[in-house]
Amino acid sequence: MPTSAVVLGVDSSTQSTKTAVVDAHSGRILTVGRAPHAVRGEAGARESDPESWWDALRASVGAALAESKVAPSAVAGIAVAGQQHGLVVLDATGRPLRPAMLWNDTRSAPQAVALTDALGGPAAWLERTGSVPVASMTATKWQWLREHEPETADRAAAVRLPHDFLTERLSGAAATDPGDASGTCWYSTRTRAYDRDLLELIGLDAALLPAVAAGGAERVGSLTARAAEFLGLRPGIAVAAGTGDNMAAAVGLGLGGEGLLDHPVISLGTSGTVFASTRTRPATAGLAGFAAADGTYLPLGCTLNCTLAVDKVAGLFGLDREDAEPGGETVMLPYLDGERSPDLPHASGVLTGLRHATTPRQILGAAYEGAAFSLLRALDDLHAVAGLDPAGPAVRERPLRLIGGGAKGRTWVETIRRLSGRPLVLPEAGELVASGAAALAAGAAWGDDPVRVATAWGAGRGVELPARVRDEVAWRRLEGVLADASGLVRDVH
């Protein structure tokens, strides 16, 4: 690749769009442009206007190029990594028929239960898709739309995921990749294709869906003249298939067939995720059995309540998020928006173990512990899927890579260390999703493997922290409260 070329990596997330201008030779991020977009809804609804993503992409590209002083002629390729699972329904002109239902929209929880039963239970879904339907999955949202807004579903000329929508606006090509497609529950990770039986079950015509590229770095088209004018770029540059945000973060960390396999990552953001790239096809309840962007697999556990929930508790007491102490006897399960892992979509927050001596700082610390506990439970499941013993020394000694906004916080880091008993690596790269997308763009521009590109860029390097002795007392206390709370929630619903 030319030493003077740059690529654009786009991170279109729940709250904003970021565009990173990346030196294609070294992987150095020259600058990042940002633009917000709104999320609306209440009582379980979470929606955004897809047109706001397109406008934010233009604003972020413009800001990034202006700050970096990079000429548009130097840009060789672009790739979009987007928030997963969102349902975008378009008319025949490519315009949204309604706001997109986002990943954290929980209204389709009843549809998730009904679809699971309709196919014969969780095992049948795991065999086909590697995942069991939950409210976040796109298939459940489509079913909700059919039941609650049938006129809109009938008018749909195209159904897209958020990153598909933007990729099509860039290139004119209706394309997705296996990674993001694997989060729909209508794509089979076993056959690596759309599952016709599942599409029939949810009443979705395959003709409405984009073609599935071989990988996220496949060149699916070139930047159209119309998109180039809109964004202020040169027409004809490579447009990659792109992928979901978690898959792009894995690429940005160098996880995959040409990099690290079975090395776990914890991401601390609005939602919390645990994932690792593996060659073993995941198919177990409690995890999303995703495909990765490079042909491997990406088993992933996700919690809805992570940094946002902890910050909410801090705000209730007027505390800074770092003003926390270990919870002691106090236990909080901060399931303020329901929960996905464990699968408790109707749950609310649980607080127990209060004493006269309990302080607000301990309650805040308990919120941290509850959020971290949910993630680490999912991590144990992830290791088992990869054929590893979660309690074995070889696994316990393998460091956790900690990323996301929470990884910058002292209390988050120390809580994960204390409850995991494992060493940590805090990667130096600050924009892993955008950096991973940039590696996809480079792969599309020059035909290289994106994980190999990211690894050559130095993906995953960072500060290493030694392990601490695991707090077994706190862990057992949290396990007991979760068992009691899970039974209560299921009895009520």
Q: 242-273 pLDDT, tens per residue? A: 999 999 999 999 999 999 998 999 999 888 98
Give ∠ CA 155-161-271 in degrees, rounded to 5. 130
- Residue 413 predicted with pLDDT over 50: yes
Q: For 448-484, write each residue's pLDDT tens digit.
A: 999 999 999 998 789 999 999 999 999 999 999 998 8
- Produce one character per residue of 222-231: b if its CB has 16 or more CB atoms within 10 Å, e if not: bbbeebbebb
* Mean per-residue pLDDT, 92-112: 96
Give pTM, 2 decimals.
0.87
Kind plus residue range of the DSSP H or E element containing 212 = strand 211-212
Q: Which is it for strands 400-403 and 424-427: parallel, antiparallel or unpaired?
A: parallel
Q: For residues 287 and 315, which has the higher predicted lDDT (pLDDT)?
A: 315
The span from the CA of 165 to the CA of 180, in Å, is 12
Q: For 173-218, write each residue's pLDDT tens digit.
A: 999 999 999 999 999 999 999 999 999 999 999 999 999 999 999 9
Residue type, 439: A
Residues carrying an active site annotation: 245
In the numeric block, the tokens 């940039």 are attached to 438
- Residue 492 predicted with pLDDT over 60: no
Which pLDDT value is given to residue 347? Answer: 87
Which pLDDT value is given to residue 404? Answer: 86
Give residues with Cβ within 8 angstroms of 419, minimum separation 6: 369, 372, 373, 376, 470, 471, 474, 475
Full DSSP string of 52-68: HHHHHHHHHHHHHHHHH
**DSSP code for 416:** H
What's the sign of the alpha-carbon dihedral 288, 292, 298, 304?
negative
pLDDT > 90 fraction of the chain, expressed in percent and rounded: 84
- Residue 2 predicted with pLDDT over 70: no
Which pLDDT value is given to residue 489? Answer: 45
Q: How far is CA 143 from the centre of its chain?
A: 22
Which pLDDT value is given to residue 210? Answer: 98
Give ∠ CA 21-431-375 in degrees, rounded to 5. 160
* Mean per-residue pLDDT, 345-371: 94
Which pLDDT value is given to residue 335? Answer: 93
Which pLDDT value is given to residue 251? Answer: 97
In the numeric block, the tokens 């900690």 are attached to 402
Which pLDDT value is given to residue 1? Answer: 62
pLDDT > 70 fraction of the chain, expressed in percent and rounded: 98
The span from the CA of 254 to the CA of 171, in Å, is 27
* Mean per-residue pLDDT, 331-335: 94
Q: What backbone phi and psi angles, to 5 degrees, belong to 319? A: -105, 150
Which pLDDT value is given to residue 486? Answer: 72
In the numeric block, the tokens 């995959």 are attached to 256
For the chain, the farthest-separated pair of C-alpha atoms sits apart, in whole angstroms, at: 67
The span from the CA of 253 to the CA of 265, in Å, is 9
- Residue 397 predicted with pLDDT over 90: no
The span from the CA of 491 to the CA of 346, in Å, is 11
Which pLDDT value is given to residue 3? Answer: 63
Q: Are the C-beta atoms of 108 and 138 separated by less than 8 Å?
A: no
Closest CA to 106 of 131, 134, 139: 134
Q: For 275-303, write each residue's pLDDT tens digit.
A: 999 999 999 888 889 999 999 999 998 88
Full DSSP string of 366-377: HHHHHHHHHHHH
Which pLDDT value is given to residue 339? Answer: 85
Q: Are the C-beta atoms of 73 and 79 separated by less than 8 Å?
A: no
pLDDT band at 488 (very low <50, low <70, confident <90, very high): very low
* Mean per-residue pLDDT, 419-436: 92
Find out whether the peptide bond into 50 is cis, omega within 30 degrees of 0.
no
